[in-house]
Amino acid sequence: MFPQTRMRRLRYGKLKEMVRENDLTVNDLIYPFFVDETAAEKTEVSSMPGVFRWPATMAVDAAREAFDLGIPAVLIFGIPKTKDAEGSSAYGDDDVVQKAVREIKAQFGNDLIVITDLCMCEYTDHGHCGIVDFENHDVVNDLTLPVLGKIAVSHAKAGADIVAPSGMMDGMIEAIRFALDENGFENTPIMSYSSKYASVFYGPFRDAADSGFCFGDRSEYQMDPANGDEAIRETELDVMEGADMLMVKPGMPYLDIVYRIKQEFQMPLAVYQVSGEYAMIKAAAEKGWLDEKKAFYEACLSMKRAGADMIITYYAKELAEILKSGKQK
Ligand code: PBG
C-alpha cells in the first residue's frame, strides 16, 4: 500500500537541478534572419511579430544582436531584388547573401559562425526550389544540382562557414560536396536539411522570404508528413553523400523523427523550430492564452531531450537572454 518509491523526493529545489537530464545552453542556438536587398529599413514580418526583414545595409547589425548575446551561429536567408526562372541572383559575388556574409565575417571573424541557407526558392520567379519544366509542371532534379553547386561555391567564397542546403533535391549533397572540393573548399562543412517535411508550418516563412510558388506545392520534393522510416533513408543517403551535420524540420511536430535520427546516426543534429511554430506561440501569447517565454523554452528543451544538438529558432535571442539571466531554473 505504502509507496516505497516516491518520485517526488527528487523534485525539490537544488536536488531537482542536480538530477536534471537535459538543459538548454546558449551554445545550442542558431539565430536565423532575413536580409532584404531592397528594403530601406527594418520591416516586421506581419505573420511573425518580432521577426524582421533586415535591409542589406544592416546585415551586420542583425548579426551583432545575436553575437552580443553569446549566440555562436547565425543562419542567413536572402531576399534578392531580382528573381528569374534560373534563380541567377542566388550565386553572384555581389548578390544579397554573398555581400552580407562578407560583411559579417569581416566584422566578427571566427567569433561568429555564419551558416547560409542554400536553396533556389527565394531567387526564382516561379518560387520553386529548382529548375522548372513548365510544360510538365515539374522541378527537374538533375538540372538543379549544378546550380546548387554554384550557389554553394559562391557562399563559401564569400566566407560562409557552413552551407545548409534545404531544397530536398536527390543527390544535392554529393553535387555540393564535389563543387566545394573542386574549388578548394574541402573544409567547408555541409549542414543538410536531411529530413525536411512538406509542412504547412512553413507558411509564415513564405511571407517573410517572398517565396510562395506559382503552381503546385513542394510536396513532390519535400517529405510526406505521414512517413518516419523514409526519414532514415533520406538521412542515410545524405550521410553517404558527405553531409557533416543533419537536420530535422519542422521541430515540435516531428520530435519522433529527431529521436530516431539521433539514435540511428550518431552525428551532429540540428532541429529547426520553423516559422509556423514561432507564429503559433506568438499568437497564443498575444491572446493571453500561453506564457510565451515558458512555451518557447519548453518547446526547445523538448528538442534537446529528443536528441537535438543545435536548435535553429526565431526565439534564439530571447532564449539567450533567459539563459543569461538564469531565470529558467
Ligand atoms: C527554403 C526554406 C524554407 C524554410 C527554410 N528554408 C521554406 C520552404 O521550404 O518552403 C522554412 C523555414 C521556416 O518556416 O521557418 N527552401
Query: Has residue 12 been placed in a domain?
Result: no
Pocket test for ligand 1, best of 147, 205, 275 (most atoms within 8 A of CB): 205
Distance 17 CA to ligand 1 centre (A): 36
What sign has the CA pseudo-torsion 254, 301, 115, 33? positive
Parts of the chain with a pLDDT under 50:
none
Say how many domains are in the chain.
1
pLDDT at position 196 = 97
Cell of 77: 536567408
CA-nearest of 186, 54, 181, 60 to 114 is 60
Query: Has residue 120 been placed in a domain?
Result: yes
Q: Encode pLDDT of 35-56 as tens digits.
A: 999 999 999 999 999 999 999 9
CA-nearest of 191, 197, 190, 261 to 232 is 261
Burial of 12 (0-12, 13-18, 19+ CB in 10 A): exposed
pLDDT at position 215 = 79
Q: How far apart are CA 111 and CA 237, in angstroms?
A: 32
Supply the range of the domain harboring residue 274: 24-325
Q: Encode pLDDT of 161-191 as tens digits.
A: 999 999 999 999 999 999 999 999 999 999 9
CB of 300 closer than 8 Å to CB of 24: yes
CB of 74 closer than 8 Å to CB of 30: yes
pLDDT at position 115 = 98
Indicate which residue of 83, 99, 150, 249 is catalytic: 249
Query: Has residue 15 been placed in a domain?
Result: no
Angle between helices 229-241 and 255-264 (to 10 degrees): 50
CATH number of 154's domain: 3.20.20.70
DSSP-assigned states of every residue in 131-196:
-EETTTTEE-HHHHHHHHHHHHHHHHHHT-SEEEE-S--TTHHHHHHHHHHHTT-TT--BB---EE
Q: Which residues line ligand 1 (CB under 6 A)?
A: 117, 119, 121, 129, 166-167, 202, 205, 218, 274-275
pLDDT at position 261 = 98
Query: Has residue 10 been placed in a domain?
Result: no
pTM of the shown model: 0.96
From the CA atom positions of the chain, what is the Rg in Å? 20
- Is residue 249 part of the annotated active site? The answer reads yes
Query: Has residue 16 been placed in a domain?
Result: no
Query: Has residue 9 been placed in a domain?
Result: no
